[in-house]
Amino acid sequence: MEIRELREIAEFEQVYELFDGIWHPEPRNVPATVELMIGFAHTGNYVAGAFDGDRLVGASVGFRGGGRSLHSHVTGAAVTGRGIGYALKTHQREWCRKNGLDTVTWTFDPLVRRNARFNLVKLGARIEQYLPDFYGEMADAINEGDASDRVLAVWSVREAAGASPAPGVATCPVLLEAGEDGRPVAGKSEADVVLVGTPPDVERLRREDPSAARAWREAMREVLGGLLEGDGHVVTLTNHGEYVVTKH
């Protein structure tokens, strides 16, 4: 697999088609237009593609944010399980180092367990902020019908990748977990370390039980959002898909 920066209009058109095939967005909600990618690339921002031979299988688009940071706006892969996302992030990390930047930021849905595991455990990014309904209504096949709550991830390109060691969690109280019917059950605790659970597959839940998916959104906003608004800090994600949150 080859990862490289993109410069040509034909390449940006391939990225547009790739993203369209992943998200199936309505015209008003495309992740990145060809014109935007042209402008980003021309002004020294980040537009890169992953190629399997001549075939584009993944892409990432980002722009320089405040300070010495790159904001990764959108990253997508045509197939999962082949390490395309990790390869793109590794390339993005090296690009930032070469361009004198210290961090990469991006947003992700805190309900999507596999993304949380990838971002927190595999990459070692940290969550800095909970952003309620950050993008407003999103008209695409993955997000439609749900509020667009996100968390802001920050990834240092100067530190070793991978998660920090987590505190012992075997006896930690769980503030959010799935009940017998799959719906969220919230609790309370004054403990210094708590767990916040996630649904096993919120995208499937949106299709099969939209009401339950909305209940998870509201519960996650109240519990994790409330912790992060206070003195909470997400350390990592457990093997069972629970955020480990320390309060200090």
What's the confidence (pLDDT) of residue 169?
Answer: 77
Give the pLDDT confidence of 185-214 residue by residue, as tens digits: 999 999 999 999 999 999 899 889 999 999
Does the pTM surpass 0.75? The reply is yes
CA angle, residues 96, 99, 101, in degrees to nearest 5: 55
Q: Which residue has the tokens 């993005």?
A: 92
Domains of the chain, start order = 2-156 (3.40.630.30), 174-247 (no CATH)
pLDDT at 244 over 90: yes
Indicate the pLDDT class of residue 82, thresholds 50, 70 and 90: confident
Phi and psi at 178, nearest 5°, equal: -85, 135
Asked if residue 166 has pLDDT above 70, the reply is: no
Kindly report the backbone phi and psi dihedral angles of residue 176, in degrees, each rounded to the nearest multiple of 5, phi listed first. Answer: -155, 125
3-state SS class at 201 = coil
Residue 231 CB contacts under 8 Å (≥ 6 apart), including other chains: 247, 248
Task: Tell me the percentage of the chain whose pLDDT exceeds 90.
Answer: 78
Rounded CA-CA distance 194/10 in Å is: 49
Show Cβ contacts of residue 61 under 8 Å, excluding neighbours closer than 6 positions.
Answer: 15, 31, 32, 36, 37, 40, 46, 47, 72, 73, 74, 75
> Over the stretch 26-45, which tens digit does the pLDDT of each residue have?
888 899 999 999 999 999 99
